[in-house]
Chain A
């Protein structure tokens, strides 16, 4: 009797991986618990263990194959309970039954089981603020963030990074990969699991004339430390009559990842944007992630830098230079349009762009604005756009109540009321703690079709047509 071994999902956000190495060969007898292969995920290289006893009869996916989708059959074992003669398939004779996958990559159809990751295509992504004629380099958001830190750290010895698993582990999400090697343990510092403590310590170091970058493994854990962020980092400049600047960056993944439930899935944009004394940044593209993080590190103020775990592995073109800076406080029109303004930030920008594409098929020309910075908010850009389109849709993954959309709505009300032809709409996460079940989670998170629906409503277009 034969059993299939499938590409396992080894992290909440893993959709595919590299089959780096087989540790078994054809004909090997394996027992449950034996390590049979090494797989490189979006976060780390992991060992895969056998879950059944048997004999390897076929290795379907070759060692070194990139982009093997979760759920793909990678090997076949035969269990010998029934004393059948075991046919070891050395010549790939079963090729039709289980297609052999070469190093060229796994067939895309295999990835359907995994959640679809959305991001705007290159054709849609046109950024007027990328004033860059030089060479571009395609890289992931993860690499862009790492490069931003490494470049800034090369230029200023006062910059250091601290957080849980940032050094030897190379980052819980691999964002700090290679930094320990380049900058050493004085500047790349593994902390104990002690958010309240190390946040306060980093704030003190910033008062002491250093420039800390604090990585929260996820922003959910920043709540342990929120007193030090708000009361100590954000307010001290004011309370000291301008004497005590606090040049510090708090960064890490924010918002929902995938299937990690309520305590590990929420958006802190509105929480931090509420407070004077902080700047709050949340990039979408890799180019913005890099340019904004470099600006954040150079900024003399405390900056909350909200990343998104689902975006880490997505690739974009990034200007190939060490001097690529994106100013804080400036939004970006990622797609121009005339009929409705869709404002989004972080992962929702990709969904807004998808929605814009869908809307164009229905004859609606949407303008999509990536806020990039939430505080200070680039309200001028939004008002300008609303004056042109007369309609506004705000998108965010966070809760609706007192969210970023609430603020956008109010500010547009104050600044462009007479230009509005329809009520301002918001597309948000549902007003519930994030559920675990896949179907409920999907219901909770805002999707591009929700944006389409809102835009149609704002344009008074019946959905059925």
Chain B
């Protein structure tokens, strides 16, 4: 595989490919050191969180399915660094990273993973089903592709209410072969909905590699028939993600309709915790880790920019503490009480 970013344009409305002036006004294209540091912190938080979740799974503290985001951190962190609080986010079941990047509490997420009452879904949703109205995070959806029309619906609501919001709709390379995705592309383009479809192409739909499952592996082209602009981005490079995000968000927010970002990325772990990952070689994974790790990449850049080791070390220490506290809470907190079994099935109406 290649990670050399291909700047593919299915349809190019602007001449230079550079973000329009309005976008540059809104967001500083060249991030300041603080925002680079902040992205480094966010990626590291996700990495450490997921490592801990993997450990807890091994200890039997987390049950069921648990899909780790390790390796893909740059995608959600890069995009979250350029969107706004009014935007909504929806994704699939590989969702822990998205929640943390949205600013949801690590302790609330970890407690949900351990099935505790203080989890984001009171312990009733688990790894794949968490939500935060406060942070405009709309899940966490366990059925491959189901979140795609839902994302378009969130975009529809933004447009209907004229609130200027954009619906950031994440899907994987596997979901890109689901039928409802194309039903959604059609409607999103037809109605010019403010939606960004972010295809996190981590090369494997569970155990089936993209070339084995997909005719036409450049997923950024999947919107061509609907006139949706698609761009392929190096999803291991948080700055490339950020830059592509600015352009896509600006496009959608200005009323021009949907945009597809294909993020070429890689997950280091198996599809889920029970996946032995026999479908790829150890060497392939190691090469990716060594040569393309998104956190190492940004760390090198920060050091070159003159950030001191000690600053990064301190970040790491702080994150370890956050994760440790979150884990303690997630293990000590009580399970939901048995009367929670029958709550939240329907909203009761006050007579």
User: Which residue numbers of A lie inside 8 Å of B, CB to CB?
Assistant: 160, 186, 191-192, 194, 196-210, 227-228, 231-232, 236-245, 276-277, 279, 299-301
Contacts and interface: CB of A to CB of B under 8 A. Distances in A.
A196 B179 contact: yes
Contact of B160 (A205, A237, A238, A245): A205
A70 to B, nearest CB: 38
B133 interface: yes
B148 interface: yes
B146 A228 contact: yes
B153 A196 contact: no
B349 A299 contact: yes
A323 to B, nearest CB: 16
Contact of A208 (B131, B154, B180, B344): B154
Interface in B70-90: 88, 90
Contact of A204 (B129, B132, B150, B179): B150
A232 B190 contact: no
B183 A241 contact: no
Most buried by B among A207, A209, A241, A244: A241
Interface string B103-115: 0000000000000
A244 B150 contact: no
Contacts of B130: 240
Contact of A277 (B133, B345, B349): B345
B153 A201 contact: yes
Interface of B: 88, 90, 119-125, 129-133, 138-143, 146, 148-158, 160-161, 167, 179-180, 183-184, 186-187, 190, 343-347, 349
A196 B153 CA distance: 12
A404 to B, nearest CB: 19
Given A191-B187, A204-B157, A232-B141, A238 B150 contact: no
Contact of B154 (A207, A228, A277): A207
A197 B143 contact: no
Contact of B149 (A197, A208, A209, A244): A197
B154 A196 contact: no
Most buried by B among A201, A237, A301: A201
Contacts of B190: 192
A210 B157 contact: yes
A242 B132 CA distance: 11
Most buried by A among B119, B121, B156, B190: B156
B153 A241 contact: no
Contact of A203 (B124, B131, B149, B349): B149
B139 A240 contact: yes
Given A198-B187, A241-B344, A231 B142 contact: yes
Contacts of B154: 204-205, 207-208
B120 to A, nearest CB: 7
A300 B347 contact: yes
Contacts of A208: 88, 138, 153-154, 156-158, 161
B349 A227 contact: no
A317 B344 CA distance: 38
A244 B120 CA distance: 11
Q: Which A-B residue pairs are the 4 nearest by beta carbons? A: A204-B153, A200-B149, A197-B183, A208-B157
A305 B154 CA distance: 23
B149 A204 contact: yes
A241 B142 CA distance: 16
A203 B146 CA distance: 10
Contact of A200 (B129, B148, B157, B158): B148
A240 B343 CA distance: 11
Given A201-B153, A240-B139, A301-B346, 19 more contacts: A200-B184, A201-B150, A204-B138, A204-B153, A205-B154, A205-B156, A208-B138, A208-B154, A228-B180, A231-B146, A238-B124, A238-B345, A240-B125, A241-B123, A241-B124, A242-B344, A243-B121, A244-B131, A277-B346
B153 A203 contact: yes
6 contacts: A200-B180, A204-B152, A228-B180, A237-B346, A242-B347, A243-B120
Given A205-B160, A228-B146, A241 B186 contact: no
A92 to B, nearest CB: 55
A242 B150 contact: no
B143 A201 contact: no
A84 B209 CA distance: 80
A192 B187 contact: yes
A241 B119 contact: yes
A24 to B, nearest CB: 42
Contacts of B133: 243-244
Contacts of A238: 124, 344-345
Contacts of A241: 119-125, 344
B125 to A, nearest CB: 4
A201 B152 contact: yes
A241 B336 CA distance: 11
Contacts of A300: 347, 349
Contacts of B184: 197, 200-201
Contacts of B121: 239-241, 243
Contacts of A199: 149
B160 A160 contact: yes
Given A205-B157, A207-B150, A208-B156, A245 B120 contact: no
Nearest to B134: A243
A160 B131 CA distance: 25
A32 B327 CA distance: 81
Nearest to A162: B156
Contacts of B122: 241-242
Nearest to B343: A242
A201 B187 contact: yes
Contact of A194 (B119, B125, B151, B187): B187
Most buried by A among B122, B152, B344: B344
B186 A192 contact: yes
Contacts of A200: 146, 148-150, 152-153, 180, 184
Nearest to B157: A208
Given A208-B158, A237-B345, A197 B180 contact: yes
A137 to B, nearest CB: 27
A444 to B, nearest CB: 32
A197 to B, nearest CB: 3
Nearest to A242: B344
Nearest to A196: B180
A277 B343 CA distance: 11
A221 B143 CA distance: 20
Contacts of A227: 143, 146
Contacts of B186: 192, 194, 197
A191 B156 CA distance: 13
Contacts of B156: 201, 204-205, 208, 210
B349 A237 contact: no
